[in-house]
Amino acid sequence: MSTQAQRHRFIVVANRLPCQRAADAWRSSPGGLVSALSPVAQRHGGAWVGWSGVADDETEPEQQSDMALIPVRLSADEVESHYEGFANSTIWPLYHDHVVAPQFKRSWWEAHQRVNRRFAEEVAASAAPDALVWVHDYQLQLVPGLVRSMRSDVRLGYFSHIPFPPVELFAQLPWRTEVLSGILGADVIGFQRQADVENFIAACTRILGVDPREDGTIVGAYPVSVDSEHIGTLAKSAVRDGAPSRIRSELGDPETVLLGIDRLDHTKGILERLLAVEELFDDGTLDPATTRFVQIAVPSREAIPAYRQLRADVERTVGRINGKFGGLGGASIHYLHREYPFDDVVKWYLTADVLLATSLRDGMNLVAKEYVAARRGRGGVLVLSEFAGAADELTEALIVNPHDRDALKDAIAEAVATEAASAHSRIEAMATTVADHSLCRWATRFLDDLEAAVHETPGALPRLSALQ
Ligand code: G6P
């Protein structure tokens, strides 16, 4: 596909386009990355290079209101070997502490290199002189190095939305040298947490014998956030409309509503959470007649066997718990295997007395930040995994080790018993943190560092912040 006719000064590169083709229209794609970045790309104009989410899709580039969409085509074989294989069955589990065993397959690596090269060629063809190029996430780690070899003029940023693992785990990757060299093509390399920065530097030092900061590369923590103003507006209108009390009454007016909202992924700790709630019902700490646990599990990566197995395990567990504790008045666990539009997600946040964001490992966990933003002025309790990036900032949450069943049970019980005044003040403190470290500030910080990075023709490009 040819995009050379139009050159862009700001290019976001991500595995997925911010929209998917559904019948004859585009619709928003799921995922934290997309929800984090589309407003930024829209505000600054420019282009978004990504996959449409459909194999063999021949869709042509399209100019949307503020942003050009530049699709990168993936064949059905490449979806299997690059996306489901290398990205989500090798890197994803390896970077999330072996939450399932990563698989190392040479044919997947071949496809992964081919697809990353295709992305890089699209960027090289679409970037205006001195453009800013911001590459996102683990599916595209080779892209910075490849673009750098094709276009020495552009400034390149790379941001990882997921954790970077300890060197002892990373070193297992047979293609560790190539992956590190790919990332090191960027001028600014960002991670969610300081711990990820340290892991990355340790990997570069141990495996490549270099500390990238010594040649001027910026490597830093840029914790991603949410648009709390927008969430606040949605929350106000949902409350005005009476949605939370309506949903509560549909749930049978329980005393307590617990909520989990996650992609159906091993990293999210859904099974561990269900087992903790089951034991709390078993030992009488929670009353199944007056408690409702709503678990929204957004379908994800369903062609991958490990994800299908997880779904079967979760659904069997929900069935067992409801079989044991459900009454005529309804089930204690409401399991919803579907995706909701974001304004409905906010209604769920407003209904939930307690949010369980108890991932086994998570780059950030934007759901936790969305919850506190929606609950501002309304109270509510956040139970948050210490292994989610958000735990660095949301220190007033009930922070828990989700691998420790007793600790998880204690945290859930404490959350249910929390006094309203304490819940209010904790939510207020966390909502202030989220509002002060907004999505917009995250993007601005990263882009400011990128604009300042090693560029030889300052002034060639107006500051992006000035383009708003
Ligand atoms: C995580 C990743 C994103 C990804 C999203 C949805 O948030 O960091 O890069 O887009 O999950 O996963 P999917 O495989 O459906 O794109």
Chain-centroid distance, C-alpha 52: 18
Q: Which of 20, 11, 45 is nearest to 121 (CA)?
A: 11
Report the SS3 class of residue 261. strand
Question: What digits encode the pLDDT tens for the residues 2-50?
Answer: 444 579 999 999 999 988 766 666 666 655 456 566 666 676 668 999 9
Class of the CATH-defined domain 228-437: alpha beta
The model's pTM is 0.94
Ligand 1 centroid – CA 301 distance (Å):
9
Q: Which residues are catalytic?
A: 161, 362
Which residues form ligand 1's pocket by a CB distance below 6 Å?
Answer: 15-16, 31-33, 137, 161-162, 300-301
Say what the pLDDT of residue 198 is: 98
Q: How far apart are CA 171 and CA 394, in angstroms?
A: 31
pLDDT band at 67 (very low <50, low <70, confident <90, very high): confident
Whether pLDDT at 462 is above 50 = no
**Is CATH 3.40.50.2000 the right assignment for the domain spanning 8-224+442-452?**
yes
Average pLDDT over every residue of 150-171: 98
For ligand 1, what atom is nearest to the CA of residue 161?
8
pLDDT over 90, % of the chain: 84
Q: Which of 137, 224, 301, 367 to mutate to test the pocket of ligand 1 (most atoms within 8 A of CB)?
A: 137
Do 228-437 and 8-224+442-452 have the same topology in CATH?
yes
Domain residues of the chain, as ranges? 8-224+442-452, 228-437
| Backbone phi and psi for residue 288, each to the nearest 5 degrees, phi listed first | -65, -20
pLDDT tens by residue, 196-212: 999 999 999 999 999 99
Ligand 1 centroid to Cα of residue 48, in Å, is: 16
Ligand 1 pocket mutation pick from 135, 159, 160, 263 by most atoms within 8 angstroms of CB: 263
- What pLDDT, in 10s, does the model give residues 229-261? 999 999 999 999 999 999 999 999 999 999 999
- What are the Cα distances from residue 10, in Å, to 38, 41, 445, 456? 13, 8, 15, 17
> 272 CA distance to ligand 1 centroid (A)?
22
Band of pLDDT at residue 326, cut at 50, 70 and 90: confident
Which position has the token pair 């409702």?
A: 292
Cα-to-centroid distance, 210 and ligand 1 (Å): 30
pLDDT score of 440: 86
- E strands, 318-464, are 333-336, 354-357, 381-385, 398-400
Residue with the smallest CA separation from ligand 1 atom 4 is 31
Residue nearest to ligand 1 atom 11, measured at CA: 31
